[in-house]
């Protein structure tokens, strides 16, 4: 998500599921939609069946997606930056990019400061001691401070990196060269950067046979034509790497070059995970953001002004609207009013002081890292199981055992609620007190699911709650009220945030989701009426918005996420015929179905492809999809805004300083890799990946190809949903026992046959499961040698039907016993998808 925001301005799927059927070419990288998104996958099939679209699946394994794709490219895990780099180079070298689009809708013409540079695998400003970059040189000529994305890296890392934002509110405009000739313009720098990614280099790094790569490059090259459009679909096969954000940025850049962003059938589309993970992200599940991707304040930000100045992006072009930056204060003030009500006044900066200003990273792994360091009293896990999620489950279990208390909120027993008596664990040695708070399952509540395409779909309760379970929001409300009572009775440090938090619900102990939904939408405090758009939000404390990007889904007229005008009457409900169904549910922002859709039309407002218009100028207004742009701003207006209204530049970023591991994506090896980086051996892996154990002074837990000769990647099977479906007998029947997939040749060498028990070990732990030998995992020739990749489904553990049937209670069934405890520089996402193992017959 970070990389999308860093490129386009918003961290979300640019298009939506149904829109995939409008594509001519579908690149699937780091995703296995046929297995992980089978229902959404119908739109890939429709594109294939209805318009003869071609599907290219690039994946280390030949999966159920590959089975119905037109081309499957076997790739070494963790090397997509090189693959995309090769495609970008192909497009640049052969001038296959969408020229008009690139010139006008991207920052290709922006001139980059002297001082920026890239050499031997390092960008300018590297600090080897801190393993971070000082990104101040990654800026445009004329701008003093880098403009930043709305969602991006943790604030204080920017501080660490030594770049202190100037207080000046004056926008500094960047110098541009429309001819794209200036050697320091983004376009030329990019050309130079990618020149190294020749088909030979791509083959050497990725293992994709050159001929097959060129075949795909030809298909992709076609897509720069205005009348053609390609979509790139990805998921955690790209995210789960120490280079995750760069892998994704590579794809985003390719799409900008081909002019495929903002267009129906195009986009850089992230398939999200759980049915409502997009909703979670929008609502601050990630530690460094507040609802609506507003930054979590950082130490040193004494005033609201400091905060806004350091968080909001700046205009770097006169024609940039910089919508978010311009309105940042309104959104923040409205949020504070929502939370602290009357206690938030102009006088106290709307209770800005109530917000925590965390001094250190609090991402997923940091939690267990801190527990290991003994800095953590307790943890409350809700709707997930740390033990299974990993990485490095053994270390995570040690961490859980190092707490005073652990609270698990879940409808079902999990490997976390049961970790204290896991196979091989002596309960006596676990000092942690574990509480289980049975919650209702989502199927036992109403509320909304926000899908990958940002569609917020309200659902009703399907089953009545069972036993003593309670709704999560009731449990949390109760917790707050009891803590509040303790503060009232006993006092305590800085009580206001707890005492003054609004709980304006009919029954504060049992808020309804409908009440919360209305609170999220926000209202005008003067009239008391709910607002229909975030455009109406003000920074004078007269409006509220629990999450500004959702403002408008629940106007006075009612909850728009409930709308269901669908395929029963396509003629009426899908006027554009492109599958937007504007009156089905509601999508943020403001029910736009395709983001950045101003870029779907040329400068004059004519659609690039009349057959697939996003929005177009009818002489007086923009018609089609809900415009991601002022509805009546004429293209002929000399001051007309640029299309990417969320970016300070107003255009898409080929060069971006919003990811702290490099303005241009570069291929780095996974932290555990059998080869050293052919591009720059001395800087093989990401120089800024966060090495937790090392930072904490714990012993090194990485292995080398000497002891662990095989590459492993972990993934999902259609038949299971992570760990929870271990409780579902029919699904356990479909995939009854844990197994690993092994290439035929490797199995022969190790004398392993399907059905044998094998031990898969890494520097961190071991897995003891059945072998499934298959030709679907092909050996690759990488940097001149043969490498084998081992496939590890993630779904098993010591809890559930399968474990109950196992004599050893599912001992050594946790896939994450193997994975490395390391995070990518931006989001600190673990490297679940590339690590080294050994395999032996038991």
Partner 1 sequence: MTARISPGTAYGFFTDTSICIGCKACEVACKEWNQLPGNAPRFLGDSLDNTGQLDAMNWRHVQFVEQFTPSAPGGGGGRQAWLMMSDVCKHCNQASCMDVCPTGAIIRTEFDTVFIQQDVCNGCRNCISACPFGVIGFHGDTGTVRKCTLCYDRLQAGMQPACAQACPTQSIQFGPLDQLHKRADARLATLHGDGHDRARLYGRDGQVYGGLGAFFLLMDRPETYGLPSAASAVRPGRNNAPGYLGALLGSVLAVLGGLIALRRRNESPGTR
**One character per residue 176-215, x = contact with ligand MGD (rule: CB under 6 A):** ----------------------------------------
Q: How far apart are CA 557 and CA 540, in angstroms?
A: 26
Number of residues in contact with partner 1, rule: CB under 8 A?
A: 48
The angle formed by the CA atoms of residues 707, 713 and 719, to the nearest 5 degrees, is 135
Minimum Å gap between C-beta 734 and partner 1 is 5
Q: Which stretch binds partner 1 (CB under 8 A): 207-215, 400-408, 605-613, 652-660?
A: 207-215
Say which entry of partner 1, Mo ion, ligand SF4, none residue 469 contacts (CB below 5 to 8 A, set by partner kind): none
Q: Identify residues 717-756 at the interface with ligand MGD (CB under 6 A).
A: 718, 720-724
Partner from ligand SF4, partner 1, Mo ion, none contacting 35, C-beta within 5 to 8 A by type: partner 1
b/e code 136-174 from CB counts within 10 Å (16+ = b): bbbbbbebebbbbbbbbbbbbbbbebebebeeeeebbbb
Q: Residues 744-763 vs partner 1: string with x where CB under 8 A?
A: ----------xx--------
Q: Which residues bind Mo ion (CB under 5 A)?
A: 273
39 binds, among ligand MGD, Mo ion, ligand SF4, none (CB under 5 to 8 A by kind): ligand SF4
CB-CB contact of 65 with 237 (8 Å): no
CB of 819 to ligand MGD, least distance (A): 5
Complete DSSP assignment for 707-725: T--EEEEEE--TT--TTGG
Start-end of H helices in 640-708: 692-696
Beta carbon of residue 560, minimum distance to ligand SF4 (angstroms, whole number):
21
Q: Which is nearer to ligand SF4, 39 or 128 (CB)?
A: 39
What is the enclosing helix (H) or strand (E) of 201?
A: helix 199-206
- Token pair for 199: 């088909």
Q: Say if CB 136 and CB 264 are below 8 A apart.
A: no
Distances (CA, A) of 42 to 46, 52, 531: 6, 14, 36
Among 16, 48, 204, 228, binds partner 1 (CB under 8 A): 48
* CA dist list (Å): 278 to 11, 31, 189, 712: 10, 17, 34, 28
Binder of ligand SF4 out of 68, 275, 481, 770 (CB under 6 A): 275
What residues contact residue 277 under an 8 Å CB cut-off, 6+ apart?
Answer: 285
Nearer to ligand MGD, 334 or 789 (CB): 789
**Closest CA relative to residue 104, chosen from 640, 596, 602:** 602
- Alpha-carbon gap, residue 507 to 474, rounded angstroms: 10
Looking at residues 65 to 124 of the shown chain, list those that interact with partner 1 (rule: CB under 8 A): 65-68, 72, 74
Q: Is 383 in the site for ligand MGD (CB under 6 A)?
A: yes
Q: Which does 724 bind (CB under 5 to 8 A by kind): partner 1, ligand SF4, Mo ion, none?
A: none
In the Cβ-directed half-sphere of 63, how many Cα atoms lie within 13 Å? 28
Q: Does residue 653 touch ligand SF4 according to CB under 6 A?
A: no
Asked if residues 399 and 372 have their Cβ atoms less than 8 Å apart, the reply is: yes
275 binds, among ligand MGD, ligand SF4, partner 1, none (CB under 5 to 8 A by kind): ligand SF4
Of 204-212, 227-235, 270-278, 519-527, the segment contacting partner 1 by CB under 8 A is: 204-212
366 by DSSP, 3-state: which?
helix
Q: Does 84 bind ligand MGD (CB under 6 A)?
A: no
In the complex with ligand SF4, which residue's Cβ is closer, 449 or 586? 449
Write the DSSP symbol of residue 434. E
Query: 268-270 and 230-234 as β-strands: parallel, antiparallel, unpaired?
Result: parallel
CB 160 within 8 A of CB 361: no
Sketch the per residue contact string, 265 through 294, with ligand MGD: x for CB under 6 A, - otherwise.
Answer: ------x-xx--------------------
Q: Does 48 bind ligand SF4 (CB under 6 A)?
A: no
Instruction: List residues binding ligand SF4 (CB under 6 A).
Output: 37-39, 275
**Which residues of this protein are in contact with ligand MGD, per CB under 6 A?**
29-32, 35-37, 58-61, 63, 75, 77-78, 80, 235-237, 240, 271, 273-274, 382-385, 388-390, 409-412, 414, 439-442, 472, 713-716, 718, 720-724, 794, 815-816, 819, 832-833
């Amino acid at each position: 998500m970070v990389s999308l925001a860093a490129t386009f301005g918003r961290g979300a799927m640019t298009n939506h599921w149904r829109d995939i059927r409008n594509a001519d070419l579908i690149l699937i990288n780091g995703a296995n939609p046929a297995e992980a998104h089978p229902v959404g996958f119908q739109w890939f099939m429709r594109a294939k069946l209805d318009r003869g679209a071609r599907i290219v699946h690039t994946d280390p394994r030949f999966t159920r997606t590959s089975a119905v794709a037109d081309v499957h490219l076997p790739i070494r895990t963790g090397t997509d930056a090189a693959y995309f780099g090769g495609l970008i180079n192909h497009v640049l070298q052969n001038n296959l990019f969408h020229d008009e689009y690139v010139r006008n809708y991207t920052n290709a013409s922006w001139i980059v400061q002297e001082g920026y540079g890239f050499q031997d695998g390092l960008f300018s400003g590297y600090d080897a001691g801190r393993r971070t970059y000082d990104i101040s040189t990654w800026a445009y000529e004329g701008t003093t401070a880098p403009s930043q994305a709305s969602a991006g890296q943790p604030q204080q890392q920017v501080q660490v990196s030594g770049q202190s934002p100037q207080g000046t509110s004056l926008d500094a405009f960047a110098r541009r060269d429309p001819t794209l000739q200036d050697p320091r313009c983004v376009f030329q720098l990019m050309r130079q950067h990618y020149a190294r990614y020749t088909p030979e280099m791509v083959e050497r790094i990725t293992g994709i046979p050159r001929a097959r790569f060129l075949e795909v490059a030809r298909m992709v090259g076609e897509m720069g034509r205005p009348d053609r459009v390609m979509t790139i679909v990805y998921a955690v096969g790209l995210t789960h790497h120490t280079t995750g954000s760069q892998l994704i940025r590579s794809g985003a850049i390719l799409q900008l070059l081909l002019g495929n962003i903002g267009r129906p059938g195009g986009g850089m589309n992230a398939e999200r995970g759980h049915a409502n993970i997009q909703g979670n992200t929008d609502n601050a599940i990630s530690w460094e953001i507040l609802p609506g991707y507003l930054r979590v304040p950082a130490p040193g930000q004494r005033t609201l002004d400091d905060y806004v100045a350091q968080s909001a992006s700046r205009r770097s072009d006169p024609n940039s609207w910089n919508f978010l930056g311009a309105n940042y204060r309104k959104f923040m003030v409205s949020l504070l009013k929502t939370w602290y009500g009357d206690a938030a006044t102009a006088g106290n900066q709307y209770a800005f002081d109530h917000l925590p200003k965390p001094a250190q990273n609090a991402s997923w792994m940091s939690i267990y890292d801190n527990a290991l360091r003994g800095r953590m009293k307790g943890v409350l896990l809700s709707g997930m199981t740390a033990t299974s999620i990993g990485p490095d489950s053994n270390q995570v279990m040690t961490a859980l055992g190092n707490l005073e208390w652990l609270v698990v909120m879940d409808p079902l027993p999990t490997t976390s609620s049961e970790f204290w008596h896991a196979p091989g664990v002596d309960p006596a040695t676990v000092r942690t007190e574990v509480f289980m708070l049975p919650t209702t399952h989502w199927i036992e509540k109403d509320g909304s699911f926000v899908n990958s395409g940002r569609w917020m779909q309200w659902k009703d309760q399907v089953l009545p709650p069972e036993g003593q379970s309670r709704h999560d929001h009731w449990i949390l409300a109760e917790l707050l009220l009891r803590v509040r009572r303790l503060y009232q009775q006993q006092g305590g440090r800085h009580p206001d945030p707890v005492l003054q938090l609004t709980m304006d619900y009919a029954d504060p102990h049992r808020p309804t989701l409908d009440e919360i939904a209305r609170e999220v939408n926000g209202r005008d405090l003067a009239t008391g009426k709910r607002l229909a758009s975030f455009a109406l939000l003000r920074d004078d404390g007269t409006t509220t918005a629990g999450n500004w990007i959702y403002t408008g889904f629940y106007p006075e007229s009612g909850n728009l996420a409930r709308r269901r005008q669908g395929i029963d009457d396509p003629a009426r409900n899908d006027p554009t015929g492109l599958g937007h169904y504007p009156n089905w549910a509601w999508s943020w922002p403001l029910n736009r179905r395709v983001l950045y859709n101003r870029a779907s039309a040329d400068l004059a407002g004519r659609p690039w492809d009349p057959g697939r218009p996003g929005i177009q100028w009818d002489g007086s207004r923009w018609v089609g999809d809900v415009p991601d742009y002022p509805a009546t701003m004429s293209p002929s207006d000399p001051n007309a805004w640029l299309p990417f209204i969320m970016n300070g530049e107003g255009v898409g970023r080929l060069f971006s300083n919003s990811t702290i591991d490099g303005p241009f994506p570069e291929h780095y090896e996974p932290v555990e890799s059998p080869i050293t980086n052919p591009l720059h051996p001395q800087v093989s892996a990401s120089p800024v990946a966060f090495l937790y154990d090392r930072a904490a002074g714990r012993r090194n837990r990485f292995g080398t190809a000497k002891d662990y000769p095989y590459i492993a990647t972990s993934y999902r099977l259609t038949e299971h949903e992570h760990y929870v479906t271990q409780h579902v007998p029919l699904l356990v029947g479909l995939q009854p026992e844990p197994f690993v997939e092994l290439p035929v040749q490797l199995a022969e060498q190790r004398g392993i046959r399907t059905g044998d028990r094998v031990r898969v070990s890494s520097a961190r732990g071991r897995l003891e499961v059945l072998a499934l030998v298959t030709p679907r995992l092909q050996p690759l020739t990488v940097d001149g040698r043969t490498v084998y990749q081992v496939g590890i489904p993630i779904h098993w553990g010591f809890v559930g039907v399968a474990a109950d049937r196992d004599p050893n209670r599912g001992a050594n069934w946790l896939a994450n016993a193997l994975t490395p405890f390391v995070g990518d520089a931006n989001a600190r996402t673990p490297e679940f998808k590339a690590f080294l193992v050994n395999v032996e017959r038991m």
